[in-house]
Amino acid sequence: MTAESDPVTQQPGKIIAVHISYESRAAERGRRPKDPSYFFKPASSVAASGHSVERPAGTELLAFEGEIALIIGSEARRVPLEKAWQHVQAITAANDWGLYDLRGADKGSNVRNKGRDGYTPLGPEQIDARAVDPSALRIRTWKNGELVQQDTTAGMIFPLAQLVADLSQHLTLQPGDVILTGTPAEASVAEPGDTVEVEVDAPENGLSTGRLVSQVVEGPDTFDPQLGSLPAVDDKQREEAWGSEEKAGLTPKTPVLTPELKAKLQSVPVAGLSQQLRQRGLNNVAIDGVCPTRPGTKLVGVAKTLRFVPNREDLFKSHGGGFNAQKQVFDSVAEGEVIVIEARGETGSGTLGDILALRAAARGAAGVVTDGGVRDYATVAEIDLPVFTSGAHPAVLGRKHVPWDTDLTIACGGATVQPGDVIVGDEDGVIVIPPHLAEEVADAALAKEAEDAWVAERVKEGGSVAELFPMNKEWRARYEAEQNGAEQEAGQ
């Protein structure tokens, strides 16, 4: 049984879309939200089945997302979870199209990349919400006839009724409003000439929306540089639009820090690594003036960089608010990365606080290093995240800093840091290791640690520092003989 067959005969008052809502999508993106989060799409983006979707000339990353759309039938305001589904009139298929070339310019709002005309096709049929179990719906997407997305509402992080109830806590849902409930894994990119179809059905009772058809065509280039942001893409956007590095045709990144190398760096002190770097002519690799928020902290990771510039009020208005560079870094840091912040040694303001530290910890960041201050210092120190800072300060960014740009070469504590550099810290401080030297330096430092431990034992036994530190020829020969003997015994 279906309701009215054309869900776009009346434009909705508002369209509310959910970010990550399926377990499969969360696993694909490497981040699982604790609570649902949302964004708005304009009613002017609605289109019917069979509508052509434009990819503007000169752009690259038009991505499809097959979704289940809920159509509100009666006003919902502060409704409890157990009554929320009663306010849903119908279910239909949706495709939440987005132009990733404009994603960076949106800074999280999705206005440009997902709000374009025709980027919310709905239909072709509606299913009466009273006739189905909301936990037993299926969503499928085809690209050029090949099934590319398939999941069920049983695999959702947030049940459909929860989305209705949660939204009704914050605003009034009115008849005709549409909720786009998120996409499962394998959403990807379509190009001019491709056809993408989406269907929602209830397999248990045979009800279906039919296939929502979108044909991708090339549209005109209408971007005026004098009016606003221009399209731009990078490998990060390509990876997210396509779904993986492999699908995007990118060369997989070889991990700098293998588990074995990380274990070596965890076990050797920064002082020893610093000595080895100095012997190789690298004297300016220490990030000066930073200390850990917790005693006994060890930090090992790969640099992800963020730069603050001195506060200027007009620039803070344009770059300080919204999904700014600071929030982007903390919201996208990958497992094992260290956020390294250039704050010019300015300690008169915080460069992060407890919320951002929690976000970095949740994403598996290896730590944070800043040559500026930290707000909420005591709380940050309790979070399971190594943080090295110049000290505590209660002020927010706007007092001294503007968050400016990310993923570039920066200066932190007098040291040059590039994305991908190896960062190691302990209570002696933090050093920067060029990636190509990391393995060599770690092995040499471990060998020197073993030698120093042997020397310390000989000094405890009464040996002379003059002869042992450094070792003269006689002690050196004895040490090497003992090491060779130990190696032979271990090999038997």
Specify the pairing of strand 207-208 against strand 195-202: antiparallel
Residue for token digits 């917790």? 294
Binding site members for Mg(2+): 376
Binding site members for substrate: 353-356, 375
Measure CA of the first residue to CA of the last residue in the chain; give whole Å.
77
**Residue 108: enclosing H or E segment and its boundaries?**
none
Tokens of 245: 């590095």
Q: Contact 367/265 with Cβ under 8 angstroms?
A: no
Q: Which residues pair with 127 in a beta bridge?
A: 2, 91
Q: How far apart are CA 478 and CA 424, in angstroms?
A: 33
**Residue 381: enclosing H or E segment and its boundaries?**
helix 377-382
What lies within 8 Å, CB to CB, of 206 at 6+ separation is: none
150: exposed, middle or buried (Cβ count in 10 Å: 0-12, 13-18, 19+):
middle
Tell me the longest C-alpha to C-alpha distance in the chain. 95
What lies within 8 Å, CB to CB, of 186 at 6+ separation is: 24, 28, 141, 148, 149, 243
Q: Contact 356/375 with Cβ under 8 angstroms?
A: no
Binding site members: 353-356, 375-376
